[in-house]
């Protein structure tokens, strides 16, 4: 099969592209290499994909000429591209244009493909709001621009599936960690702080936040698990993550244990929109995709530390 992965130079997108290629699929990536974080990190991911025979097209999905640039014989689309996270440096327009308008452009491109079997939207547990512990049938209550716009993007995709114009589904991911994690995310920052002996900035109260920290390899298991199950997953929303919960403080202690050092904490004022608790309810993923995440937090941190040391020391 020929597969398009958007946001292919990013964290989870690059891992998914690699996995799909190893499964024997022909994979094409697209990424706009936005400066949301250091471009050299995305270029590092790009190099890894290129070494695996996966080309990445430097293109913004917000552009209106996608059909002129992207292949017309794509069978699957895995849509990771988005303006991520919660950042004081990001405007509402950043989230709106990337997450909503970009997704609409990609849908318009997808509708022209003659042999598209499935459009997979990559969503987020942030759509549930401050407490993300529920099933897919619960009412979304996003508490950030990111969550609001990702929910809108998800519904744009599912609208077309409900209209029977696309076969599509949306996968809501929970707190993904591991090699290639973005530099502003928790574990990359913790590892850097521990190795460099620098203070780690932590928002007030967030040490008590609870998360379903899920290893990226386990997430990718679920993402690629939709292939061949188009009829089963069409129109569906499916949570992907681990049922095991850890506090942020527990994450800090795990990094300290792996590095063999203590990390000094610098407390910052509380940040609006941060989720208080996430615990993935994956009963649906187990039933539909035979999903079974197994990687422990300790093993995930070990893998991420090894990646960091290999690439940044």
pLDDT tens profile 243-267? 999 999 999 999 999 999 999 999 8
The residue segments making up the domain with residue 67 are 2-174+216-243+283-293
Whether 85 shows a pLDDT value over 90: the answer reads no
Share above pLDDT 70 across residues of the chain, in percent, rounded to a whole number:
100
- 24 in any annotated domain: yes
- 185 in any annotated domain: no
- 276 in any annotated domain: no
Query: What global pTM score does this model have?
Result: 0.95
Q: CATH number of the domain that 95 lies in?
A: 3.40.50.720
Q: Which position has the higher pLDDT, 268 or 121?
A: 121
- 200 in any annotated domain: no
- 167 in any annotated domain: yes
Q: What is the pLDDT of residue 31?
A: 98
Per-residue pLDDT band for 36 (boundaries 50, 70, 90) equals confident
- 63 in any annotated domain: yes
Arithmetic mean of pLDDT, 40-59: 96
> How many Å apart are CA 211 and CA 306, to the nearest integer?
22
Instruction: Name the β-bridge partners of 170.
Output: 121, 237
Q: What is the pLDDT of residue 89?
A: 79
Place of tokens 């003659």: 114
Structure tokens at 60: 């913004």
Arithmetic mean of pLDDT, 27-54: 94
Q: How many domains does the chain have?
A: 1
pLDDT tens profile 127-178? 999 999 999 999 999 999 999 999 999 999 999 999 999 999 999 999 999 9
239-278: burial string, b at 16+ Cβ within 10 Å, e else: bbbbeebbbbeebbebbeebbeeebeeeeeeeeeeebbeb
pLDDT tens profile 188-235? 999 999 999 999 988 888 888 999 999 999 999 999 999 999 999 999
Query: For the ranges 83-92, 119-128, 146-155, 294-303, which has the lowest average pLDDT?
Result: 83-92
Arithmetic mean of pLDDT, 49-77: 97
- 88 in any annotated domain: yes
Whether 79 shows a pLDDT value over 90: the answer reads yes
Place of tokens 């002996």: 197
Which residues fall within 8 angstroms of residue 7, CB to CB, at 6 or more apart?
A: 13, 30, 31, 79, 80, 81, 82
- 38 in any annotated domain: yes
What mean pLDDT value characterizes the chain? 95
């Amino acid at each position: 099969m020929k597969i398009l992965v958007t946001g292919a130079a990013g964290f989870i997108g690059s891992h998914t592209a690699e996995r799909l290629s190893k499964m024997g699929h022909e994979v094409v990536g697209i990424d706009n290499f936005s400066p949301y974080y250091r471009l050299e990190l995305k270029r590092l991911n790009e190099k890894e994909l290129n070494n695996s025979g996966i080309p990445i097209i430097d293109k913004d999905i917000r552009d209106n000429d996608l059909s002129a640039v992207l292949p017309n014989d794509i069978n699957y689309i895995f849509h990771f591209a988005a303006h991520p996270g919660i950042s004081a440096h990001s405007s509402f327009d950043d989230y709106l244009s990337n997450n909503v308008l970009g997704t609409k452009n990609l849908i318009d491109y997808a509708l022209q493909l003659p042999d598209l079997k499935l459009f997979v939207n990559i969503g987020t547990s942030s759509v549930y709001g401050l407490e993300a512990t529920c099933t897919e049938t619960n009412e979304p209550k996003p508490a950030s621009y990111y969550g609001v716009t990702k929910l809108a993007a998800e519904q744009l995709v599912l609208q077309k599936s409900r209209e029977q114009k696309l076969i599509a589904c949306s996968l809501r991911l929970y707190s993904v960690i591991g090699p290639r994690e973005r530099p502003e995310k928790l574990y990359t920052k913790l590892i850097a702080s521990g190795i460099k002996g620098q203070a780690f900035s932590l928002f007030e109260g967030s040490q008590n936040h609870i998360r379903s920290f899920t290893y990226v390899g386990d997430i990718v298991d679920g993402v690629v698990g939709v292939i061949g199950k188009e009829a089963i997953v069409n129109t569906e929303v499916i949570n992907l993550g681990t049922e095991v919960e850890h506090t942020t403080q527990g994450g800090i202690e795990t990094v300290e244990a792996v590095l063999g050092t203590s990390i000094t904490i610098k407390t910052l004022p509380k940040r609006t929109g941060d989720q208080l608790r996430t615990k993935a309810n994956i009963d649906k993923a187990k039933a539909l995709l035979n999903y079974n995440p197994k990687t422990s937090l300790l093993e995930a941190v070990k893998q991420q530390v090894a990646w960091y040391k290999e690439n940044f020391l």
